[in-house]
Amino acid sequence: MNLSDETIGRSNLFYRLGLLTRHWRQVLDTEFQFAGLTDATWRPLLHLHLLGDGTRQKDLAASIGIEGPSLVRLLDTLIAKGLIERSEDVTDRRAKLLNLTPEGRVIVARIQETVTALENDLLSPFSDDEIARVAEFIERLESTVNGARRRGKR
């Protein structure tokens, strides 16, 4: 008997989503070993590239969808690897501005290739239409869950 087939409430959707995201992370971790990166560390690089140099930490964290303190340690790692630099914001001395180093830019290009190839590969069994429908469902569910989360926090 495999209880992954058991249903609690209307579906075991959340159970399956948990498994899927953990397994996806493991695939990414394997895929990024070439650069000493992980699932958690490629996102700051890519999002910083997309947001542009001079982005603040809080904005980068928001873009990635993690909390500020979660980003701090990832940045420490990436700075230690020489891929990102922190610099002072002359207009606000509380803030730090982030920049990719030249080495960081090289890695970002490889990240884009790697993630694109991997997603294309893993999503190849599915039609664009099907993916779009699921993405739309996930987005609606996210906003429902997020509403419940915000209510819970109060």
Partner DNA sequence: TCAATATAAATAGCATACTATTTATTTGTT
Partner DNA sequence: AACAAATAAATAGTATGCTATTTATATTGA
Check binding of 16 to DNA (CB under 7 A): no
**What is the x/- site pattern for DNA, positions 47-86, by CB under 7 A?**
---------xxx------xxxxxx-xxxx-x--------x
> In the complex, what is the shortest distance from the CB of residue 153 to a second copy, in angstroms, rounded to a whole number?
7
Q: CA–CA separation, 63 vs 49, rounded Å? A: 12
> In the complex, what is the shortest distance from the CB of residue 93 to a second copy, in angstroms, rounded to a whole number?
25
State which residue, 49 or 75, has the beta carbon closest to DNA: 75
- Please report how the helices 102-123 and 39-51 are oriented relative to each other, as an axis angle in degrees rounded to 10: 110
The torsion angle over the Cα atoms of residues 134, 136, 139 and 140, rounded to 10 degrees, is -110
CB 71 within 8 A of CB 96: no
Q: CA–CA separation, 129 vs 53, rounded Å? A: 35
Q: CA–CA separation, 25 vs 20, rounded Å? A: 8
Binding site for a second copy (CB under 8 A): 1-4, 6, 8-24, 26-27, 30-31, 46-47, 50-51, 63-65, 112, 115-123, 125-126, 128, 130-135, 137-142, 144-146, 148-149, 152-153
By the criterion CB under 7 A, which residues form the site for DNA? 22, 26, 38-41, 56-58, 65-70, 72-75, 77, 86, 89, 92-97, 153
